[in-house]
Structure 1
Amino acid sequence: MDGSRHGTQAFHDALRRNKSIICALSASYISTFAGYPLDSLKSRLQLVKTHMSVPRLATIVFREEGIVGFYRGLWIPLVTISFVRAASFTIYTETKEYCRVHDYLNRDRVLDAAIVGGIGGAMSGSLISFGSAPFELVKVRRQLEYSIAASKGVHIVKPPGTAAAVKEIFKTNGISGLYSGFRLHFGEHPKLLASVDLNLVSSRYSGNSIILLGSKSLLYDGARHILGRNRLGEQGETPSWLPIPSSLVPFVCGSLSGVTSWALIYPLDVVKTKVQQRALAGERYRGVWETLRRLVRGPDPNHPKTIIAGCARIYRGLGISALRSITTHGLLWTLYDLTADWIDNLPDR
């Protein structure tokens, strides 16, 4: 009996020591699986030349590729999560703890909470830029297999597997191609985007990842403070103007931060997807500004589209991306908090 009790206690202690990693992994796996079909539809919707509703696109994907079409490349972000998310959440939480212990930006104000969260998110984004670029490139390649084949004038019955996609990318650019663009400064987005061809994705996980994760964390921690969480991380009562259960606070704040952050950088993500698709299809490379101009004004300079139509084009797919952000980020922070609370409430010795 004593041995069993000792083993249980050792297990509980191990959970406490690795709380941030366990919370990040458990929450990330579930939220990624739930939101991946929406991410796949978002990538496809960005490339269609005419307006198409999400239900119609989903019907086409299901008819041509089956249910597996929505999850093609899923294992890639799941593998990425196993080391990137765990490390990034650890950096995020440790940065906040460091600021709290050393009394940096530790006043009970929403601005301080938001800045500390933004710093933690930006630092974790720096890590993701090195760990996720190769996986993200292959994931996008797998999602766009059919559109890439169509661009080449090839009809495929069964798309190549992940190993074949990696082999083709390596054959074209070598191992260094998976990290092209990292020689430039993280924040130099236009120059970085214009410098890469096959791996425009690396820009998303360098400068853009810092902005994206930094803004998400800034908005999330700021919103959590407004909705009753104190500087020690304890959730109090929500304000009278939003009397929701405390268990819903992480979902509301996570969804809000995810949607807002994606709306800020969405046009750049559309450009990234378009340039990637052309590069993977072997078409002539177009720089970021040329791609953006053609998306906004159209391919014919003599008959340009209106600004309103052009803006609608570069924001095509934002609705499905917003729904994905609500699903993934809401679930991510909700499950993270639930797991953390469960570990905190494990019995002591």
Structure 2
Amino acid sequence: MHGTTNRGECNPSFRFAVRVYKAVACAIVASGMSTFAGYPLDSLKSRLQTIKHPISVPTLAVLVYREEGVRGFYRGLWIPLVTITFVRAASFTIYSGTKDNLRDARILHRNTLYDTSLLGGLGGALAGSLISFGSAPFELVKVRRQLEYSIAAAKGLQINRPPTTLQAVRDIVKTRGLLGLYTGFKLHFVRDTSGTALYFMEYDGMRHMLGRLPSGEQGPTPPWLPIHSSLVPFVCGSLSGVTSWALIYPMDVVKTKVQQRALAGEKYRGVIETLTRLIRGPDPQNPKPLVAGIGRLYRGLGVSAVRSITTHGLLWTIFDLVSNYIDRLPVR
């Protein structure tokens, strides 16, 4: 096989390449596997965000299965499987490079919780903001694929056979032009910048608290959480994924709703109007109770939390496993 010798050992040129681009290699492998594992939950999350009446996750899952089969849970998978994998590879590269450059410049270089967390947050913010320009069109198409049936219903149409991903792209460009692929971009940009900053800040802070050494290797865990060192990446990845996502979740709900209405050709509503209608309902003379409205903003958070635990826990676990494997490769 290419990249290996007859003895099953890695080719020197291959070893050199994966060492130089270690963050990219780790991110590609980890992201691909974690994205595939969590995609059905992401599909259910998008549907829960846009339906008008509350419904339980199991009931929705049964309805999707009855109407669309197993494929319904994986509709639009290939776009995020490919794009999220490479987006995360670029994100990890920017995040790691930003931290290295700031440390080399003697900025936030101390091995303290404050410096470590803030360094991760800055690297995450830069990564999230830059990557959003490339990821926004792909996420819009993903939302379109996941919500094909509700978008068709809003147009008064009935779907016999859902369009392919390429057909969905063509339809968006045909009806809204090339810039239509950036529908809802402002919300996407703010969500990704703030969410990625929070995510990496929390992850690096938690890894520091749980005994990660300055070299990047995992040291002994503290007495207050005596877990096996192999579980640390999963615990930190899960917690940082869930908490950062919960903080920006209302923004994601508004973004998805704005994009759904635009794709369905319905009258445009701004962010404030969309948020207000989600919280208080469509009738200003008979507003919904505030608690119920806020609950509407967090509809689907439960399934999102399970998805975050699954994907981000697996992401960092596999990332660390691949990283350790690369570090153990012989120099020659």
Under TM normalisation by the shorter chain, which class is it? over 0.9
* 1:311-332 deviations in Å (ceiling 9; x for gaps): 1111111111111111111111
Query: What secondary structure, in the 3-state scheme, does the structure 2 residue paired with 1:132 have?
Result: helix
Residue 227 (structure 2) aligns with: 244
Query: Partner of 2:77 in structure 1?
Result: 74
1:266-318 residue CA offsets vs partner (Å, 9 max, x unmatched): 11111111111111111111111111111111112222111111111111111
Q: Deviations over 1:86-133 (max 9, x none)?
A: 221111112222233333212221111101111111111122111111
Asked if 1:119 corresponds to 2:122, the answer is yes
**TM-score for both structures, normalised by structure 1:** 0.90
Q: 2:167 aligns with which of 152, 164, 171?
A: 164
Matched, 1:269 2:252: yes
Greater shift after overlay, 228-237 or 141-150?
228-237
- Paired AA for residue 149 in structure 1: A
Deviation, structure 1 residue 66: 0.5
What's the CA shift string for 1:45-66, capped at 9, x where partnerless?
0112221110000000000000
Q: 1:37 aligns with which of 29, 40, 44?
A: 40
* Mapping 1:258-297, distance limit 5 Å: 258-297=241-280
- Corresponding residue number in structure 2 for 1:232: 215
Q: Is 1:51 paired with 2:54?
A: yes
| Unaligned residue ranges in structure 2 (runs of 5+) | none
The AA in structure 2 aligned to 1:249 is: V
- Tell me which of 289, 313, 330 is aligned to 1:330: 313
- Residues 28-56 of structure 1, C-alpha deviations (whole Å, 9 max, x = no match): 00010011111100000011222111000
How many Å apart are 1:204 and its aligned residue?
4.1
Measured in 2, the distance between the counterparts of 1:15 and 1:26 equals: 12
Q: Which amino acid aligns with 2:287?
A: P
**1:208 matched residue in structure 2:** 191
What is the one-letter code of the residue matched to 1:220? Y
One-letter code aligned to 2:325: W
Of stretches 27-36 and 295-304 in structure 1, the one that deviates more from structure 2 is 295-304
For residue 168 of structure 1, report the CA deviation from its aligned partner.
Answer: 0.9
Corresponding residue for 2:97? Answer: 94
The answer for the alignment partner of 2:21 in structure 1 is 18
Q: Secondary structure at the match of 1:12?
A: helix
The residue number in structure 2 matching 1:302 is 285
Which runs of 5 or more residues in structure 1 are unaligned?
A: 180-198
Q: How far apart are the structure 2 equivalents of 1:50 and 1:98?
A: 49
Q: Aligned partner of 1:306: which letter?
A: P
Q: Tell me if structure 2 keeps the 8 A contact 1:128–1:205.
A: no
**Could you tell me which amino acid in structure 1 is paired with residue 21 of structure 2?**
N
Aligned residues between the structures: 327
Name the SS for the 1:206 alignment partner. helix
Structure 1 residue 231 displacement after superposition: 2.4
Answer whether contact 1:227 1:238 (CA < 8 A) is retained: yes
Kindly indicate whether the alpha-carbon contact (under 8 Å) linking 1:278 and 1:285 is maintained by their aligned counterparts in 2.
yes
C-alpha distance in 2, partners of 1:273/1:81?
18
Provide the rounded CA distance (Å) in 1 between the counterparts of 2:201 and 2:63.
Answer: 38
Aligned to 1:146: 149
Task: Give the 3-state SS of the residue equivalent to 2:316 in structure 1.
Answer: helix
Q: Is the 8 A contact 2:254 2:275 kept in 1?
A: yes
RMSD between aligned residues = 1.6
Report the equivalent of 1:183: none
**Contact persistence 2:49–2:253 (CA under 8 A):** yes
**Does the alignment pair 1:347 with 2:310?**
no
| Equivalent AA in structure 1 for residue 260 of structure 2 | Q
**Quick one: percent identity of the two aligned structures?**
64
The CA distance in 2 between the partners of 1:20 and 1:270, in whole Å, is 31
- CA pair 343-304 structure 1, distance change in 2 beyond 3 A: same
Q: 1:222 aligns with which of 201, 205, 210?
A: 205
Q: Is the 8 A contact 1:28 1:332 kept in 2?
A: yes
Aligned-partner Cα distance in 1 for 2:33–2:161? 28
Shift of 1:7: 6.9
Distance 1:22 1:247 in 2: 20
Tell me which amino acid in the other structure corresponds to 2:226. Answer: P
